[in-house]
């Protein structure tokens, strides 16, 4: 579905990605892990047309390099960004409807109403709070809203940037269970996560980024058991636990 080849990205004169090559197959959950500043968010923003880049990005065999962000959304890619970036003064339902902005312009109101109900079925808490200001939601509820808003664009590829950031463990479990459910329902997912253990636990494959380069890749289960990954991202306790089993 997604093919990235030799991608470089820049903030001014600073090179944030250095020749990244990776891919996502239809129906997969693929995770990008790495330390802060490794380039994970930059990679997602490059896919969305938000960062100056060069190289090649193709989606379903067609290049999406240099497309405007709204054109990328129209192709079938949407993102739940890091930090959620909800519109705090607007209601929950207004935030969700904004996710379907391009579809409103295409006069898909009946389909949008059906999809809005699906989001409320996926996240019942959003239904309960649909008329409340989004800024009054808890962190976990705001993350649900950010994912729901991205889904309202009806993407075939969903980009998730740090969906577990700042959440309590129980809420992290709910969000990750939702990610797995979305994959079962036909949404392909590329997810950035600092919580490597959680991300690799639900992913099919993973890539490890370090200072703008991919240094490791493979099946998620293999990365979970890779000594370099456990040492750098999973911690000493996890390594000793797995080696002692």
Task: Give residue 242's pLDDT.
Answer: 42
Q: Classify residue 56: in a domain, yes or no.
A: yes
| Residues of the domain holding 178 | 2-86+154-244
Q: Classify residue 112: in a domain, yes or no.
A: no
Q: Classify residue 101: in a domain, yes or no.
A: no
Domains in the chain, number: 1
Interatomic CA distance for residues 159 and 192, integer angstroms: 8
Q: Which residues contact 77 (CB under 8 A, 6 or more apart)?
A: 47, 48, 59, 64, 155, 156, 157, 159
Tell whether pTM > 0.75.
yes
Interatomic CA distance for residues 125 and 112, integer angstroms: 19
Q: Classify residue 102: in a domain, yes or no.
A: no
Q: Classify residue 184: in a domain, yes or no.
A: yes
Three-class SS of residue 23? Answer: strand
21-61 confidence digits (pLDDT tens): 999 999 999 999 998 889 999 999 999 999 999 999 999 99
Q: Classify residue 48: in a domain, yes or no.
A: yes
107-166 confidence digits (pLDDT tens): 788 999 999 999 999 999 999 999 999 999 999 999 999 999 999 999 999 999 999 998
Q: Which residues contact 171 (CB under 8 A, 6 or more apart)?
A: 139, 140, 143
Interatomic CA distance for residues 170 and 54, integer angstroms: 40
CATH of the domain at 212: 3.40.50.300
Q: Classify residue 93: in a domain, yes or no.
A: no
170-210 confidence digits (pLDDT tens): 999 999 999 999 999 999 999 999 888 899 999 999 999 99
Q: Classify residue 141: in a domain, yes or no.
A: no
Task: Give residue 236's pLDDT.
Answer: 47
């Amino acid at each position: 579905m997604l093919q990235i080849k030799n991608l470089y990205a820049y903030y001014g004169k600073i090179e944030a990605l250095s020749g990244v090559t990776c891919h996502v197959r239809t129906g997969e959950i693929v995770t990008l892990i790495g330390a802060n500043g490794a380039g994970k968010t930059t990679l997602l923003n490059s896919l969305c047309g938000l960062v100056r880049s060069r190289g090649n990005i193709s989606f379903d065999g067609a290049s999406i390099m240099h497309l405007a962000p709204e054109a990328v959304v129209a192709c079938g890619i949407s993102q739940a960004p890091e930090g959620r970036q909800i519109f705090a003064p607007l209601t929950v339902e207004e935030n969700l409807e904004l996710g379907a902005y391009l579809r409103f312009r295409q006069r898909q109101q009946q389909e949008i109403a059906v999809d809005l109900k699906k989001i409320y079925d996926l996240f019942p808490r959003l239904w309960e709070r649909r008329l409340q200001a989004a800024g009054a939601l808890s962190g976990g509820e705001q993350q649900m809203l950010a994912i729901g808003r991205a889904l309202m664009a009806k993407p075939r590829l969903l980009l998730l940037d740090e969906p577990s950031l700042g959440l309590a463990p129980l809420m992290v479990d709910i969000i990750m269970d939702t990610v797995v459910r979305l994959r079962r329902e036909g949404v392909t997912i590329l997810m950035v996560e600092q919580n490597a253990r959680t991300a690799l636990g639900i992913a099919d494959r993973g890539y490890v980024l370090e200072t703008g380069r991919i240094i490791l890749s493979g099946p998620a289960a293999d990365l979970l058991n890779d000594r370099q990954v456990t040492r750098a991202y999973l911690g000493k306790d996890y390594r000793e636990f797995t080696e002692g089993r």
